[in-house]
Amino acid sequence: MTEHRTNWLLFIALGFFWGSSYLFIKIGDDAGLTPFTLVTLRLLVGSILLGTVVAVAREKLPRDPGMYVRIAILGFFAIALPFVLITVAEQRVPSSLGATLTSPVPLFAILFAVPMLGERLTVPRIAGIVVGLAGVAILMGFDFTEVGRTDLTPQLFLLGATVSYGFSGVFARRYVTGLRPMVPAFIEVGMSMLMVAVCALLFEHPLTLIPTLPGNAIFAVVWLGIFGSGLAYLCFFRLIAHWGPTRTTLVAYLLPVWGIALGFFVLNEPIGQGLVLGTALIIAGIAFVNVDRGKLFANVGAARSRLTGAPAQAPVPETVPDTAAGTR
């Protein structure tokens, strides 16, 4: 198997690992796992796996105490907060909605990237944000005539998780740099696990709940820990090394597709017109936000030159933020 084919298989696997997380969160919720306990257990499994990889690879941990503070902040916004919000929300909404309503991370990431990273808010990006937010509104079932009479709390929790993912991606690019990727990933997952574990001990009863868990709940936790929080990182960092961040983060396009398909085939969740339309608008918005005008013009010019024999024009460079996916 060639390296090119291996990378494509890992890309598809990464989309499946993160996209399937919403299904297994729903399974864990339905099996009686409380939110803080579910998140704690999946992060415990993930941190053990990542810690083993870091130890085998003999990666060096940072010595700067300030780096641990920054990684802790990153862990809160990239893992602890969104994981809990998604888990709570999926107690009341389908897993497919969880996958689609948390997919427009780049739309919010670019809003944070403008003040924090100096990114330009270009016309295509503004258009992408508008189109994507229209899709979000459709998925939320927003209706001006029903304001105040419809409980949108689960949808708002999912949207809050999306905003948190968007902020964390920009925060990481701004403040967590200079380390090999696996090191902050391990520390981030471990610290997030400790944060959520404290909440589980304070507000839930994990020590009495865990021994009574049914088999499907245990399977959901193991899947989320190994695949959603462990192997997904390994695939992600392998692709970062071979493809670079911009191309790798296009995995965001696969997450709602996997989420909808798995919710339909495994849990018989309906696929309504609103779900399809909202998802399509969000994917279109992500495409607009991540459009690279230089490459687009270069490809159009090259195609025109092949057809007409005229020389292609030089591309106009434009920086695209690597913010297309959050940690799942």
pLDDT digits (tens, 9 = 90+) for 121-175: 888 889 999 999 999 989 887 554 454 556 789 999 999 999 999 999 889 888 9
What is residue 143's predicted lDDT score, i.e. its pLDDT? Answer: 52
| Contact by Cβ (8 Å): 235, 251 | no
What is residue 297's predicted lDDT score, i.e. its pLDDT? Answer: 46
Rounded to 5 degrees, what angle do the CA atoms 238, 319, 242 make?
Answer: 15
Rounded to 5 degrees, what angle do the CA atoms 28, 78, 9 make?
Answer: 75
What is residue 295's predicted lDDT score, i.e. its pLDDT? Answer: 53
pTM, whole model, 2 decimals?
0.86
What is residue 294's predicted lDDT score, i.e. its pLDDT? Answer: 52
| Contact by Cβ (8 Å): 42, 219 | no
Residues 155 and 323: their CA atoms lie apart, in Å, by 22
Q: Measured between alpha carbons, how far is residue 279 from residues 75, 109, 188 in Å?
A: 27, 18, 30
Residues of the chain whose pLDDT is less than 50?
144-145, 147, 296-297, 299-308, 310-326
Tell me which DSSP letter residue 121 carries: -
What is residue 234's predicted lDDT score, i.e. its pLDDT? Answer: 86
What is residue 313's predicted lDDT score, i.e. its pLDDT? Answer: 44
Taking alpha carbons only, the member of 139, 81, 108, 40 closest to residue 327 is: 81
Residues 71 and 44: their CA atoms lie apart, in Å, by 17
The residues, ordered by sequence, that sit 6+ positions from 154 with a Cβ below 8 Å of its Cβ are 88, 89, 90, 91, 92, 93
